[in-house]
């Protein structure tokens, strides 16, 4: 067999060696701006190795394989010896690439610096997208962000240069859109320090969201562990048309599976309906798989992906992928752990929310449901864009509706914002007139960044506590997520439905049947949206925003000032003392949903993501205390006084008192932010005891030396009182599959014991004993 290891040198021969980042037309035109910034030294696209691994595993398992299994098992460190059992065993994998957004990259790079290693072992990139606050408009907001965050951007730029990491400057765009345009390709395994990394599944890639400590493992060249995922198949038939969009597929799936239905599984789309969805539409569907707790989501390689890669300068990769197409689609008769059937021809436009992304409603019914539920009908703001829905096609379909309204003299009744996903998208929609249409209808074009989607929104049209409704094309709508207002009812839908509702100014509008009224009194109905999948004139790359890691880095200095309030070098966590954990206090018994937003809020706290002690002042300030139904108000059991959660935690730590958190179902759902695990560890926490965990958060807790434990009997949650003391016993014989015991001491002198389950394997137990995965890494150097 010929070797299809597509290396940097071969790509240079194929594409040329310009000075700018790669933006090449399908015909590789002379005017195209070409560079090799995406492919750092040492990167390769080795389909042959993956093919060999797949064949080894197929012979061992003696059964057809799903696409997910092919790509995951194709990246096994030891395909011949690895124990493989879906949902049970831990796989040791060799991902191809790492990507980090600027909020999580700070802690990831601080941990990598602490490791003492001189350079990353796999191609890695940092993307500056989270720290830009939406306030006035793209240009002004970007300039302000550069000034406000200069210290952090300088740290990330110099750390990237020092350790061989590519650096995408502020204004480049959102990490997941940049990955789709530059790094994802069929069969690649990429891990990213953001929960929406699965966006890359739209290009047939296995892209998985992780915490920074996992990224450090991969950057250090250590095999990365992942519990062998189950595989949920979603079989698509029929064809998308009219008002129905790719977003409606995942909104429907979220309604079926709920926010934890995908936990521990990869969602694999297949069937004849796949070919009616654009490549970027597939990415939208995969992106929002994070909202159902899925490990990742993926689509099989097809002509849509090939065309997208050609349009984004990766035709050479597509040609090689064609040679290995059988490895990039599921085997015939492969078996899924669960199968969902969706007929795209029958699927109707959906809108999900408020307060949770799995509360699914058909758009045709949302007005009546809102009236019955007491949700505000008036749409105050419509927001399109984000990493989920900011493709050229998305913007074109929204613009087609805006143009119809403008032709009738109508503008948006609601405020309207537009967030381009990347500099390439911004430049292209500006060139092709979409940006002007969206602006003319009342839209404000924001910076190429996350902005309101992650709470980076200086919203001033309503007061905090004022009940109101917004509709977005984002992916997540937890309480106070977008604007820090717990009374904001946020709904998630497609960009075209957002645009229609912003024009109407009300939830009680079904664009398929209802009419708008022009200023002259004329009634008119919007025609279904239309939009080109890809620009006919190729993409405009816009401004050059990429910093390639230098060949010589000895002169590069990474500065972290000891007096900085935004950056702080890390000190190692303490090792386990070798004994059971006795008489720990309960910091808080959490009632109901507790996402990583509740544990470590974003918004204004993003500025402290590189300073562990400062950001720890937001620990669990959004969680509801079961004792009093209050947030950020818990009883200090040493003083008898009530205080903020972080304040009480600090007092316990200063007094030498260990503590635990008790929580409910799917604890830690949402973002991949490892600060939600670092903060409790930093402030003296030892264990988190809950009914169930979200995947990423459970792993993050293990990485930092905490004990994520689950009630063997979920009803035991009710036995624990906020003033109890808890001892965890059995740690001297801590072993995989062996439950631990919690002895509960009540304030009335009574005691009872309960059983606690865990998912630690041998390697992870060593992390606990060493005090953290990073400590263990140093022990092994």
List, by residue number, the catalytic residues.
Answer: 129-130, 194, 476, 671, 673
Q: How far apart are CA 303 and CA 26, in angstroms?
A: 14
Query: What is each CA distance from 301 to 26, 86, 198, 247, 327, in whole angstroms?
Result: 18, 23, 15, 20, 9
Q: How far apart are CA 20 and CA 8, in angstroms?
A: 16
Q: Which of 166, 181, 184, 187 is nearest to 46 (CA)?
A: 187
Query: What is each CA distance from 706 to 401, 662, 712, in whole angstroms?
Result: 51, 13, 18
Query: What is each CA distance from 531 to 131, 278, 432, 434, 719, in whole angstroms?
Result: 31, 11, 12, 10, 57
CB atoms closer than 10 angstroms to residue 26: 16
What does R_g of the chain's alpha carbons equal in angstroms?
A: 25
Return the H-helix or E-strand segment holding 689: strand 685-690
By CB atoms closer than 10 A (0-12, 13-18, 19+), residue 537 is exposed
Phi then psi for residue 741, to 5 deg, are -120, 140
Q: How many CA atoms lie within 13 A of 187 on its CB side?
A: 31
Q: Where are the beta strands (DSSP E) in 47-205?
A: 90-93, 97-101, 124-127, 166-168, 189-192
* Owner of token pair 């802690």: 107
355 torsion bin: left (phi>0), alpha (psi -120 to 50), beta (else): left
Pair 247, 284: CB distance under 8 Å: yes
Phi then psi for residue 561, to 5 deg, are -70, 135
Query: What is each CA distance from 43 to 157, 171, 354, 516, in whole angstroms?
Result: 20, 25, 43, 53
Largest CA distance in the chain: 82
Q: How far apart are CA 654 and CA 392, in angstroms?
A: 54
Pair 206, 68: CB distance under 8 Å: yes
Q: How many CA atoms lie within 13 A of 190 on its CB side?
A: 38
Q: How many CA atoms lie within 13 A of 591 on its CB side?
A: 13
What's the full length of the chain, in residues? 781
DSSP code of residue 453? G
* CA 264-265-266 angle, 5° bins: 140
Q: How far apart are CA 197 and CA 166, in angstroms?
A: 17
Q: How far apart are CA 127 and CA 114, in angstroms?
A: 21
Reply yes or no: is the peptide bond before residue 354 cis, omega within 30 of 0.
Answer: yes
Pair 499, 479: CB distance under 8 Å: no
Strands 44-46 and 443-445: unpaired
Looking at 559-689, list the stretches that DSSP marks H as alpha helix, in order from N- to C-terminal side: 596-599, 612-615, 645-654, 675-682
Encode 438-460: b = buried (16+ Cβ within 10 Å), e = exposed: bbebbbbbbbbbbbbbbbbbebe
The tokens of 183 are what?
Answer: 């790094």
DSSP codes joined into one string, 157-189: HHHHHHHT-EEEPTTSB-HHHHHHHHT--TT-E
Pair 393, 288: CB distance under 8 Å: no
Q: How far apart are CA 534 and CA 443, in angstroms?
A: 22
């Amino acid at each position: 067999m010929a070797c299809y290891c597509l290396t940097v040198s071969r790509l240079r021969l194929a594409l040329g060696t310009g000075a700018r980042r790669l933006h090449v037309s399908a015909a590789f035109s002379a005017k195209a701006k070409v560079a090799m910034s995406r492919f750092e030294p040492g990167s390769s696209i080795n389909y042959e190795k993956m093919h060999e691994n797949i064949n080894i595993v197929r012979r061992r398992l003696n059964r057809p394989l799903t696409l997910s299994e092919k790509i995951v098992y194709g990246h096994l460190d030891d395909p011949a010896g690895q124990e493989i059992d879906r949902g049970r065993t831990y796989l040791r994998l060799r991902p191809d690439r790492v990507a980090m957004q600027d909020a999580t990259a700070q802690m990831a790079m601080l941990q990598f610096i602490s490791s003492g290693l001189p350079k990353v072992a796999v191609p890695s990139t940092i993307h500056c997208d989270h720290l830009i606050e939406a306030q006035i408009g793209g240009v002004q907001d970007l300039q302000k962000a550069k000034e406000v965050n200069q210290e952090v951007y300088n740290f990330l730029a110099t750390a990237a240069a020092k350790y061989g990491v590519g650096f995408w400057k502020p204004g480049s765009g959102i990490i997941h859109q940049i990955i789709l345009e530059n790094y994802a390709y069929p069969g690649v395994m990429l891990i990213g320090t953001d929960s929406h990394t699965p966006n890359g599944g739209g290009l047939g890639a296995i892209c998985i969201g992780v915490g920074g400590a996992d990224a450090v493992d991969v950057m250090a060249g250590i095999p990365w562990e992942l519990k062998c995922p189950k595989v949920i198949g979603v079989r698509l038939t029929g064809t998308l048309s009219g008002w129905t969009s790719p977003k409606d597929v995942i909104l429907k799936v979220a309604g079926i599976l709920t926010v934890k239905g995908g936990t521990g599984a990869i969602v694999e789309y297949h069937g004849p309906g796949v070919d009616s969805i654009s490549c970027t539409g597939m990415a939208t569907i995969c992106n929002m798989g994070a909202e159902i707790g899925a490990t990742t989501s993926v689509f099989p390689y097809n002509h849509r992906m090939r065309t997208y890669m050609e349009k984004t300068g990766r035709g050479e990769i597509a040609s090689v992928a064609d040679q290995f197409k059988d490895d990039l689609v599921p085997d015939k008769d492969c078996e899924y752990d669960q199968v969902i059937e969706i007929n795209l021809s029958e699927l109707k436009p959906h809108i999900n929310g408020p307060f949770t992304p799995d509360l699914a409603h058909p758009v045709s019914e949302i007005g009546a449901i809102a009236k019955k539920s007491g949700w505000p009908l008036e749409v105050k703001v419509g927001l399109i864009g984000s990493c989920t829905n900011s493709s050229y096609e998305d913007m074109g379909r929204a613009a087609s509706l805006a143009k119809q309204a403008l032709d009738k003299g109508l503008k948006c009744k609601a405020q309207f914002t537009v967030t381009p996903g990347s500099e390439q998208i911004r430049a292209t929609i500006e060139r092709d007139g979409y940006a002007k249409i969206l602006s003319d209808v009342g839209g404000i074009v924001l910076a190429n960044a996350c902005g309101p989607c992650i709470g980076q929104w200086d919203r001033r049209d309503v007061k905090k506590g004022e009940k109101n409704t917004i509709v977005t094309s984002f992916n997540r709508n937890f309480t106070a997520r977008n604007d820090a207002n717990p009374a904001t009812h946020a709904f998630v839908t497609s960009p075209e439905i957002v645009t229609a509702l912003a024009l109407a100014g009300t939830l009680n509008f079904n664009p398929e049947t209802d009419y708008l009224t022009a200023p002259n009194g004329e009634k008119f109905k919007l025609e279904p949206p239309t939009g080109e999948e890809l620009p006919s004139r190729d993409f405009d790359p816009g401004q050059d925003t990429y910093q390639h890691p230098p060949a010589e880095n000895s002169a590069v200095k990474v500065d972290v000032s000891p007096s900085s309030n935004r950056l702080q070098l890390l000190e190692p966590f303490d090792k386990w003392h070798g004994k059971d954990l006795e008489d720990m206090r309960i910091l808080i018994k959490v009632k109901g949903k507790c996402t990583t937003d509740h544990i470590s809020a974003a918004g204004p706290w993003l500025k402290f993501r590189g300073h562990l002690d400062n950001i720890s002042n937001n620990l669990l300030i959004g969680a509801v205390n079961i004792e009093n139904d209050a947030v950020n108000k818990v009883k200090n059991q040493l003083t008898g006084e009530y205080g903020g959660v972080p304040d009480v935690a600090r007092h316990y730590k200063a007094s030498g008192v260990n503590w635990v958190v008790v929580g409910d179902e799917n604890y830690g759902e949402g973002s991949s932010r490892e600060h939600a695990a670092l903060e409790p560890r930093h402030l003296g926490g030892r264990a988190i005891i809950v009914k169930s965990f979200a995947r990423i958060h459970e792993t993050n807790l293990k990485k930092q030396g905490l004990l994520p434990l689950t009630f063997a009997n979920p009803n035991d949650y009710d036995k624990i009182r906020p003033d109890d003391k808890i001892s965890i016993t059995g740690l001297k014989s801590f072993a995989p599959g062996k439950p631990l015991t919690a002895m509960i001491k009540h304030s009335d002198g009574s005691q009872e014991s309960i059983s606690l389950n865990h998912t630690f394997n041998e390697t992870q137990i060593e992390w606990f004993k060493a005090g953290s995965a990073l400590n263990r890494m140093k022990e092994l150097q």
